[in-house]
Structure 1
């Protein structure tokens, strides 16, 4: 039986993808890069280390990439963080996962200060055993670093975990760490994109996963484990 469920935050447990996209788009425009909202939104799920190179040349990154990322962080906290809300039944889902015998981890591309705020907003601080963010890793998703840190902290191997995420970058990063991924559509990525990235199951969101938990990879794994006991 897998021993841990590893959740993404933005777009998976929190309705925040559009807010992040707006903050990035406005930051890019402020620093002289005219980009469309839709183009930026497709990159949400990556950390700044992976997102910025999509829009800035190497010279531009050296010139103002760090300043742009810093401005974006402050801009998001001031303008958009108060608007972030959790999806339905997020604490209930994590309680169900814990009752099934799993440890619970978070693997996010957020910065540490954002991560702490997001856990509070989702009302899951006391339900999470390990929380890892981009500050804990050399590279953010779709690199596997955050998952590898989670596995190390929990002292388990990749097949001992199941990831839950809303972007292809979650599934790609998890696969590189030998972790299977359950995809959720609430972050706005198409179902085909999630399947193509390697998601083994797709649910509409946390509420659907909670409602159909017994038939999910998490629920089936728990049942198989208890039947063997």
Structure 2
């Protein structure tokens, strides 16, 4: 059995992907970049250090990249954070993981202050043993940094953990850290994309993972 479960947050535990995509789309348009909602959404799951270079030239990044990211952060917190809700059965799933004897970590590309708020919204702050945010890592997903920091805080190797995430970036990052990944479809990526990124198991969402816990990677 694994010794720990490492959860992504946005799109995995919280229904927030569309809201993040809206904030990025609005920021891009405000600063003169023709980036659609759909284009922005396809990159959610990575941090700003990966998302911004995907759409902006090096010159544009130097000129207003930091200002745009700051505007996006303020926009999300003021307009969209109040709308974020957890997916069904999230606290129940984490309690089941805890009762199975696994330690629980979250590994998110969000900033530390955002992550603390997310755990409160999800109702799981008291169930999490270790948190890792973009403030702890040099590179965001699909770089393995965030997962490697989580493993270090847990004091275990990748083979002793299972990651749960909704994007190909989660699976790629976890795989580079030697961690098997359970993909969930609730974040909007296709099942094929999750398998292709290296997921060892794919489930519709947290509630299904809870219902099928005994047959999942978390229990074997």
Q: Same fold (TM over 0.5)?
A: yes
Alpha-carbon deviations, 1:170-216, whole Å to 9, x = none? 00000000000000000000000000000011100000000111111
Residue 165 of structure 1 corresponds to which residue in structure 2?
165
* Distance in 2 (alpha carbons) for counterparts of 1:99 and 1:211: 15
* Distance in 2 (alpha carbons) for counterparts of 1:79 and 1:29: 17
Residue 97 of structure 1 corresponds to which residue in structure 2?
97
* Distance in 2 (alpha carbons) for counterparts of 1:155 and 1:207: 29
Give the deviation of 1:112 after TM superposition. Answer: 1.1
Question: 4+ runs of 1 displaced by more than 3 Å?
Answer: none
* Distance in 1 (alpha carbons) for counterparts of 2:48 and 2:136: 14
Instruction: Indicate whether 1:151 and 2:151 are aligned.
Output: yes
Residue 226 of structure 1 corresponds to which residue in structure 2?
none
* Distance in 1 (alpha carbons) for counterparts of 2:120 and 2:214: 27
Residue 175 of structure 2 corresponds to which residue in structure 1?
175
* Distance in 2 (alpha carbons) for counterparts of 1:67 and 1:113: 19
CA RMSD in angstroms, aligned pairs only? 0.5
**Paired residue total:** 220
Residue 84 of structure 1 corresponds to which residue in structure 2?
84
Residue 139 of structure 2 corresponds to which residue in structure 1?
139
Give the deviation of 1:2 after TM superposition. Answer: 1.5
Give the deviation of 1:113 after TM superposition. Answer: 1.3
Q: Secondary structure at the match of 1:186?
A: helix
TM-score normalized by structure 1?
0.95
Residue 54 of structure 1 corresponds to which residue in structure 2?
54
Residue 227 of structure 1 corresponds to which residue in structure 2?
none
* Distance in 2 (alpha carbons) for counterparts of 1:157 and 1:182: 17
TM-score normalized by structure 2?
0.99
Give the deviation of 1:34 after TM superposition. Answer: 1.3
Give unmatched runs, 5+ long, in structure 1: 222-229
Alpha-carbon deviations, 1:15-66, whole Å to 9, x = none? 0000000000000111110111111100000000000001100011111101
* Distance in 1 (alpha carbons) for counterparts of 2:20 and 2:56: 18
